[in-house]
Amino acid sequence: MPDVLTIETRGPVRILTMNRPDKLNALDTALTRALCDALDAAAGDAQVRALVLSGAGRAFCAGADTGEFRDLVPGQGDRVADRASLTARLHRLLRAVPQPIVSAVHGAAVGGGAGLAIGCDMAVAAEGTRFGYPELRHDLVPALVMTNLVRQMGRKLAFELVATGRMLSAAEMLAAGLVNRVVPDGDALAAALDLAEICARPKPIAMEATKRLFHEVAEAHYDAAMEAGLQANIAMRGYRDGP
């Protein structure tokens, strides 16, 4: 049985590829846990300076594996809570991992897959990408993926996506600021690797501080953000002699 996640290291860049192509890389427990473990491992590996998240086959990720979720129903208590906590941990790790992460998105990126695509620090989308949150069409709530969405998109469009299930094209994703690049179909991984390789050049201590500060100031009040920037500026003076 093939691994649900393949891991390849190219110099300072590590590529994590979701590998359930027959299921459009739908997120079951095994794949979600494998992604968490791989991100944890990368965070502790000084040789890894950037990551790329991709999907095998004709889709990036079709969201949650609904076949598995049919067995998780109210009344099962711990099983439902544990599965939800695992998904939340995955999304938190995308931000907590010190290295920059670039998603290489193609085909379908919906529901949980849409959340992964924009949960990375940067994203590249192939022209044929279809992106959206169709959960309400199935009487589900796009719960854990909503945090990143409302922080990265205007509220009116974000609510339209979750309320109607409308799908965005790659061009619309670019216009909404959800991706950094739109490239021809078949080129998303190469373009994501190019971005990751650029991000791998600075010293890890400087890139880690930059990523941490970026997310902190994005959500802090002005004075708190300025104070965080001040402290990072002071600490920066010691980076010259760091690793």
User: Among 74, 14, 24, which residue's Cα sits nearest to residue 47?
Assistant: 14
**Better-scored residue on pLDDT, 138 or 106:** 106
Which tens digits make up the pLDDT trace of 141-150? 999 999 999 9
Decide if 208 contacts 99 (C-beta within 8 A): yes
Q: What is the pLDDT of residue 7?
A: 98
| CA distances for 156 relative to 150, 152, 153, 161, angstroms | 10, 12, 8, 9
Give the largest CA-CA distance in the chain: 56
pLDDT higher than threshold 70 for residue 242: no
Distance of CA 233 to the CA centre of its chain: 28
Decide if 38 contacts 5 (C-beta within 8 A): yes
Decide if 157 contacts 176 (C-beta within 8 A): yes
Average pLDDT value for residue range 173-188: 98
In single-letter form, the type of residue at position 32 comes to T
Average pLDDT value for residue range 128-133: 98
Active site residue 172: no
Report the 10 Å Cβ neighbour count for 232. 16
Which tens digits make up the pLDDT trace of 74-118? 555 577 788 889 999 999 999 999 999 999 999 999 999 999 999
What is the per-residue DSSP string for 111-135? Answer: THHHHHHHHSSEEEEETT-EEE--G
The three-state DSSP-derived secondary structure of 155-191 is HHHHHHHHHHCCEEEHHHHHHCCCCCEEECCCCHHHH
Please provide residue 132's backbone torsions phi and psi, each rounded to the nearest 5 degrees: 175, 180
Q: What percent of the chain has pLDDT over 70?
A: 93
In single-letter form, the type of residue at position 62 comes to A
Q: What is the pLDDT of residue 240?
A: 60
Catalytic, out of 8, 68, 127, 135:
135
pLDDT higher than threshold 90 for residue 176: yes
Separation of alpha carbons 163 and 153, rounded Å:
15
Kindly state the tokens that stand for 69. Answer: 């979720």
Residue 193 — pLDDT band, cuts 50, 70, 90?
A: very high
Q: What percent of the chain has pLDDT over 90?
A: 80
Which DSSP category does 51 fall into? E
**Better-scored residue on pLDDT, 61 or 144:** 61
User: Among 133, 138, 141, 96, which residue's Cα sits nearest to residue 111?
Assistant: 133
Kindly state the tokens that stand for 120. Answer: 């990375």
